[in-house]
Amino acid sequence: MKQVETEILRLARELPELGQAAVATRLQKAGLQISASGVRYIWQKYGLETAVKRLQALAAENDGCLTSLTVNQRRYLERGLLSTRLAQGELADDELATVPESELEPLDRRRIILNTAAELFSTQGFDRTTIRDIAGQAGLLPGSVYHYFSSKEELYMAVHQEGFRSVMMQLQAAVDEATDPWERLTRAFTVHINGMVGGSAIDRLTGHSLALTGHPRLLEMIRADRDAYEDVIKALITALPLKPAVNRTLLRLQLLGAMNWVYVWYHEGKLSSAQIAAQMIEMLRLGVENQA
């Protein structure tokens, strides 16, 4: 494990722009067994979980001098820092006015398009939402949307990829804070339910699509991301101290079905996401423990 960690940190220094999946693939080809989530765990351990943080760490090794970075790395870092400030609303109006349109365009407009598309897909459905609808809601011309996404299907995929990336990061961070398998599953369900009923438009659409039925083409489009997410839930259920007779596959499907149905009956102000998740898992745990 020490060798794997050393190699991950070496790549973080030599190729900071690489994502966790790319790093895992490189190490696997070199005969080192590590998953993408395992790479992220090591990154988080050293505060290197984003490309921006890895580039900042690389510059810090040279007294914070950005000239130690390549031209492309400096641009990536500058754009990443700008994107973070834009997302957090930290740019004052006078600062925003000095940012070239060429810099704002890829950072701000794409995010606006994704959020708007997620909102309309959630409320109107995929079939009834058009690129013109999305552009109008976002205050853009349809051509501006097509500049980033060649079709409505590509935009739908981009929204889900962003959503699954977000929920997987939140879920992993939540379960990593606990060791008890019941608590880890409860934390995972809390993240999932909160995304469906209290998260961003992208989170809500991702949660709804985990329960998507009646639209095979859309389901097929997001199947890879959906399967990766369900694999995480499967691992959490596998870790539960259950009796050998329990069919864990059926249990997983039952729990996911119950959790995905929350968005249908949920009413704000009654139970929180954490309370719903805790009660669902507690009922399961008591049922298992009371089996003869």
Q: Are 162 and 202 in contact (CB under 8 A)?
A: yes
Side chain identity, residue 12: A
Structure-token pair, residue 4: 């794997």
Task: Summarize pLDDT for 6-25 with one digit per residue, the tens.
Answer: 888 888 877 777 777 778 87
Q: Where are the alpha helices (DSSP H) in the chain?
A: 2-14, 20-29, 36-45, 51-60, 71-87, 93-98, 101-104, 110-124, 131-138, 142-148, 152-175, 181-198, 201-210, 216-221, 223-238, 248-260, 262-265, 273-289
Each as own residue / partner, the long-range contacts of residues 150-156 (CB below 8 Å, 24 or more positions apart, any chain) are 152/126, 153/221, 155/113, 155/114, 155/117, 155/131, 156/117, 156/121, 156/126, 156/218, 156/221
Task: Summarize pLDDT for 81-93 with one digit per residue, the tens.
Answer: 665 555 445 555 4
Query: Which DSSP helix (H) or strand (E) runs through 148?
Result: helix 142-148
Average pLDDT over the chain, rounded to an integer: 78
For the chain, give the percent of residues with pLDDT over 70: 78
When mean pLDDT is compared over 97-106, 218-227, 255-264, 277-286, the highest value belongs to 277-286
Q: Tell me the pLDDT band of 123, cut-offs 50, 70 and 90.
A: confident
Nearest to 225 by CA among 152, 166, 153, 277: 166
HEC letters along 186-224:
HHHHHHHHHHHHHCCHHHHHHHHHHCCCCCHHHHHHCHH
217 vs 262: CA distance, rounded Å: 24
Q: What is the mean pLDDT of residues 170-190?
A: 91
Structure-token pair, residue 127: 């079939």
Q: For the ranges 53-67, 99-113, 146-160, 240-254, which has the lowest average pLDDT?
A: 99-113
pLDDT of residue 270: 80
Q: For the ranges 160-164, 191-195, 198-202, which has the lowest average pLDDT?
A: 198-202
